[in-house]
Amino acid sequence: MFFVVHLLFFQRSVFKDKRFWLGVILIFVVFSPVIIYNLKLYQTRGHFDLQFSYLFKQDVSEWKSLPGKEQIGSFNNRLVNLIPALYQGMLWPTFILFIAGLLFIIYKLIKKENLKVTAFLLILAIFFYLTFFLLIGPTKRFIVMVVPFILLLVAYLIFYVPKYLRSAIIILLVVIEIFFSYNTLLTHYPKGMVGITYSYLNIESYNYGYNQLNNYLVQLLKDKYPEMTFQTKYQFLEDIKKQSLERAKKQNKKSAAILLIYDNNMYDLATFWLFHRRLVYEGWPIITADDYSKQVKEFWLDQRIKDFYFIKILDNKILLRPDLEQTRAAQILVDQIDSPKPEIIKRPDGREVFAVYHWQ
């Protein structure tokens, strides 16, 4: 949108150029699958996809709870949280220089000095993004969209700083950025205070130990295929499973009657990567601790299961679910099973993160 506004102010002749309209047509061609999909969805289900149904205020029973939408708060909440969200989304020196850049642009406007078109476009882009955040909420996954434009504004400001001071600012920013990035992304235990010496985004790069757990599962299931599998709801999943089993037999892998059980409190996205993909693409029977406990042991033995492997979380840092959503199913299962001392899975720094219980 801000590019269109820029063209209206500075390059209206573009609207007479056939290449511009060819570009518009190309945009619609590229976007056409989304349009066709939503039209077909409306014909069959009576509503559009999630984003469009939310935009057009459609009442969809399957989407009564939309955490991403519900967390944006009222307009006043968004307005109050906008500046703190911008601050948290970048280094504090960059934020200070961003504010200085805005003040510098305002000063030039007050002095009625001519702004370069690039400066006007940057301010326009930032303005549209900030307005956009007031509509959708300034959450961290959206704030990152405006950061490149803010950095360009900072570069524009630095260009007008005297050369001796410019070099000092650039060196300072590079040094702080290296420390900040290392402290946020590469250390197991960041030094200092969040927002000052490391970013709150360190939760995204925190080494939870899932890679080490995956390595364990790779070795456990190596050269094996499931002797029994669970019946899935959809035929295409059954076809994928069938192809996987046929491929495993051709590779002379050995059948194994293994049931994998995992802690209900495990991070849901991690369960997709660790367990659900193995259930779908390899056919391994996998359930949660809660589902396992709903049946007696004899039931699972009747399913031709011989080896049971239960993965329990040891590190509270992994418990990303809100307290109200956490269950005690894993601990209850540990208290019930008759298993020898579990095998411990550790992070690279030696911190214990998972316990694997095995019984037959």
Q: What is the pLDDT of residues 307-335, one digit of tens each?
A: 899 999 988 777 666 565 677 888 888 88
Look at residue 67 and tell me whether its pLDDT is greater than 60.
no
Top pLDDT among 228 and 65 is at 228
Q: Where are the beta strands (DSSP E) in the chain?
A: 224-226, 254-256, 258-262, 286-288, 307-313, 343-346, 352-359
Look at residue 254 and tell me whether its pLDDT is greater than 60.
yes
Assigned token pair, 264: 């209900």
pTM: 0.64
Q: What is the pLDDT of residue 309?
A: 93
Look at residue 260 and tell me whether its pLDDT is greater than 90.
yes
pLDDT, tens only, 9-22 = 777 888 888 888 89
Per the CB < 8 A criterion, the answer to whether 124 and 6 are in contact is: yes
pLDDT, mean of residues 165-181: 88
Closest of 285, 345, 277 to residue 313, by C-alpha: 345
pLDDT, mean of residues 98-108: 87
Q: What is the pLDDT of residue 71?
A: 58
Cα–Cα dist 194/216, whole Å: 33
Lowest mean pLDDT of 53-67, 75-89, 252-266, name the range.
Answer: 53-67
Per the CB < 8 A criterion, the answer to whether 342 and 353 are in contact is: no
Look at residue 176 and tell me whether its pLDDT is greater than 80.
yes
Look at residue 68 and tell me whether its pLDDT is greater than 70.
no
Q: What is the pLDDT of residue 1?
A: 66
Whole-number average pLDDT of the chain: 83
pLDDT, mean of residues 263-280: 87
Look at residue 2 and tell me whether its pLDDT is greater than 80.
no
Q: What is the pLDDT of residue 293?
A: 82
Look at residue 135 and tell me whether its pLDDT is greater than 60.
yes
Q: What is the pLDDT of residue 108?
A: 81
CA torsion through residues 55, 56, 59, 62, sign: negative
Cα–Cα dist 170/162, whole Å: 12
pLDDT, mean of residues 327-345: 83
Instruction: Indicate the pLDDT class of residue 208, thresholds 50, 70 and 90.
Output: confident
pLDDT, mean of residues 233-238: 81
CA count, 13 A, side-chain hemisphere, 254: 7
pLDDT, mean of residues 193-206: 79
Per the CB < 8 A criterion, the answer to whether 265 and 354 are in contact is: no
Q: What is the pLDDT of residue 70?
A: 55
Instruction: Indicate the pLDDT class of residue 181, thresholds 50, 70 and 90.
Output: confident
